[in-house]
Amino acid sequence: MWSAEDLARHSVRDQGAGLTAEQVAEKIAEAAVRQQETREQLRAPVDQSPYAADPERLAELWEAKHTEWRRIAALMNASGWGTYDPDSDAEGSAWTRQRETRRQTALDKHAAWAKEQREAKEELRAHVWLPADVSRRLRAIAASTRLTPEQVLAELARHAELRDDGTLTITPFHPS
C-alpha cells in the first residue's frame, strides 16, 4: 500500500524528531552505507527461501531513506533549526496527510467490500436451466414487465406460498 518513499518518509520523520544537525548527518552517512550495501546485494545470488527479504524493495527503501535524510538536513540548514521538528516540516506534514488520506480511503473501500461480502452471504445465487418453452415464456413476461428474467423469478419467489398440504401457490400480483 505504501511506496518505498512513503515508508522512508514515515520512518525518517519518526526517527528524526529532536535530532540535531550532527545526528542527521550521521543518519545520512548510515543511509548511504546501507544504500551501497543493498545495491551490492542486488548483484549477489538471490536467496529463494520464502522468508528472504526482497533485495530490490530493500534497495529502494534505503535509497528513499538516504534522499529523505538529505532533504531534512537541507531543510534544517536553510531554516536554521537546531533540531528537527516534524510538525514544522511543511512538506513532510503534507506527505503525512496525503498518506493518511490514502490509507483511510483504502480502509473505507475495504470496509465497503467486507459489508458487501457479508450481505452477499444472505443472498441466494442460482443458475437455473429451463426448457426452451419455459425460457421463452419467462423472457416474454420479463420484456412485457420491463424486468430482467432474474427479477421476474425473484418476484415469483417473493409471492410464493407453501401450503400445509405441500402445494405451492402464487397469489396474483403486479410486478414492481
Range of the domain at 91: 4-121
What percent of the chain clears pLDDT 70, i.e. is strictly above it? 95
Q: 59-73: per-residue pLDDT in tens?
A: 999 999 999 999 999
Task: Indicate whether 22 pLDDT > 70.
Answer: yes
* Strands (DSSP E) found in the chain: 160-162, 168-170
Domain contains 176: no
pLDDT for res 124: 76
Domain contains 63: yes
Domain contains 126: no
Count of structural domains, the chain? 2
Q: Determine the distance from the C-alpha atom of residue 162 to the mean position of all C-alpha atoms in its chain, rounded to a whole number.
A: 46
Instruction: Say if residue 75 is in the same domain as residue 8.
Output: yes
Instruction: Say if residue 63 is in the same domain as residue 109.
Output: yes
Instruction: Say if residue 72 is in the same domain as residue 12.
Output: yes
Instruction: Say if residue 98 is in the same domain as residue 137.
Output: no
* Distances from the Cα of 97 to the Cα of 3, 55, 89, 148, angstroms: 15, 29, 12, 46
Q: Report pTM.
A: 0.61
Dig out the grid coordinates for 141 from the structure.
413476461
Instruction: Say if residue 46 is in the same domain as residue 106.
Output: yes
Domain contains 148: yes
Instruction: Say if residue 137 is in the same domain as residue 88.
Output: no
Instruction: Say if residue 19 is in the same domain as residue 58.
Output: yes
